[in-house]
Amino acid sequence: MTPDLPVQRVVVEERRIAYVEAGAGVPIVLVHGNFASKRWFRELLQAPPVGARLLALDLPNFGDSDPLGAPITIAAYAEAVRGFARALDLASPVLVGHSLGGAVAQTAAADAPEDWSALVLVDASAPEGLTTPEAHYPLLEAFRGQAELLAQALAPMLSSRQPDDFDSLVADALRMHPDAFSGNTRALDGLGLAPRLAAFRGPVLVLRGALDPLITDAMAEATAAAFTGARSVELETWEGVGHSPATEAPERFATRLDALLHDLDDPLAAP
C-alpha cells in the first residue's frame, strides 16, 4: 500500500484481520473478491469521498490477514466481516462487496440485517450462488505459485483498465491460503440466500460492469430482486467497465459512493 495508508490489524476471534483506512465520517467497509485483497481498492482509498471513512480489509485466508482456521464457507467469511465491524465499533456501516465479497456481504446482511445501513454489491455472485463446472477446478489448483498463469486469469477481470500496480495484485493473489484456490469457488455453489435477504431494510445498490465476463445481467437482476424489503433498490450497469468497477473506474466509483451517502442523509428518500 502507500506510506500514508499503513496496514493495521484488529483481532477477531483470536484471528488477526488486516486492513487499511482513509477518510473520516460514515464508515464504509470494503470487501474484496476471490484472488484479491484490500489492494483492489487502493486508488479509491487515495481519494475517498468527503464524509466517508473507508475501511478495506483482507478477508481471512487473504493478503495480510491470518488463515480462516476452519472449513471455507461464505458464512465463515461473513462472520469475520461482522466481527471486524464489531471490533472497530463501527456504527451502522455501509457494506460494499465485490464479486466473492458480494456474496460475503449478502450473507452478512442476511445474518444481521440491522448491522448495516446500506449495501453496495459490485459484480456480485447472485443470492443462489455461482456454480463452476468441475472441469475448471484443476486450473484453479494450477494457479498456486504460477504468477504468469494467474496474471492471465486476472487480466480479463480488469477489462477496461489495468492499474499500474497489477503485478502487486497478482502477488497478493498468490498469497492466498492454499485451500482457498479451489475452496473459495466451491463455497460459492448453492448459497440459497434469496429468502433471507428480504429482511434487509436499508438501501441497496447492485452495480455491474457491462463488460463483465463472469456476472451476467440475469445474475445482477436476481440479486436486486431478492431485496424485497429494502428501503430502495437500484440496479446499475456501467458501460465500458468490466468485472471490477472500483479498480477500473475509481473516481466514478467514489462519486457513486458520495451520492449514496447523500441519499442516506436525505429524509425525503424513498422509505
Chain segment 137-186, per-residue pLDDT in tens? 999 999 999 999 999 999 999 999 999 999 999 999 999 999 999 999 99
Report whether pLDDT(2) > 50.
no
Question: Does a structural domain hold residue 175?
Answer: yes
Total structural domains within the chain: 1
Q: Could you tell me the pLDDT band of residue 266, with boundaries at 50, 70 and 90?
A: low
Smallest CA-to-CA distance from 63 within 42, 86, 45 is with: 42
Report whether pLDDT(14) > 80.
yes
Mean pLDDT of 15-25: 97
CATH code (residue 104): 3.40.50.1820
| Residues whose CB falls within 8 Å of the CB of residue 59, separated by 6 or more in sequence, listed in order | 31, 32, 65, 77, 80, 81, 101, 104
Q: Which domain holds residue 52?
A: 8-265
- What confidence score (pLDDT) does residue 264 get? 87
Question: Does a structural domain hold residue 151?
Answer: yes
Report whether pLDDT(136) > 60.
yes
Q: pLDDT averaged over the chain?
A: 95
Question: Does a structural domain hold residue 270?
Answer: no
Q: Could you tell me the pLDDT band of residue 134, with boundaries at 50, 70 and 90?
A: very high
Give a three-class secondary structure readout of 159-187.
CCCCCCCHHHHHHHHHCCCCCHHHHHHHH
What angle do the packed helices 166-174 and 147-154 form, to 10 degrees?
Answer: 120
- What confidence score (pLDDT) does residue 68 get? 97
Question: Does a structural domain hold residue 239?
Answer: yes
Check if the beta carbon of residue 58 is closer than 8 Å to that of residue 84. no
- What confidence score (pLDDT) does residue 5 get? 86
Question: Does a structural domain hold residue 1?
Answer: no
Question: Does a structural domain hold residue 141?
Answer: yes
- pLDDT tens digits, one per residue of 49-100: 999 999 999 999 999 999 999 999 999 999 999 999 999 999 999 999 999 9
First to last CA, the chain: 39
Q: Could you tell me the pLDDT band of residue 125, with boundaries at 50, 70 and 90?
A: very high
- What confidence score (pLDDT) does residue 4 get? 60
Question: Does a structural domain hold residue 71?
Answer: yes
- pLDDT tens digits, one per residue of 180-225: 999 999 999 999 999 999 999 999 999 999 999 999 999 999 999 9
- What confidence score (pLDDT) does residue 98 get? 98
Question: Does a structural domain hold residue 43?
Answer: yes
Q: Could you tell me the pLDDT band of residue 254, with boundaries at 50, 70 and 90?
A: very high
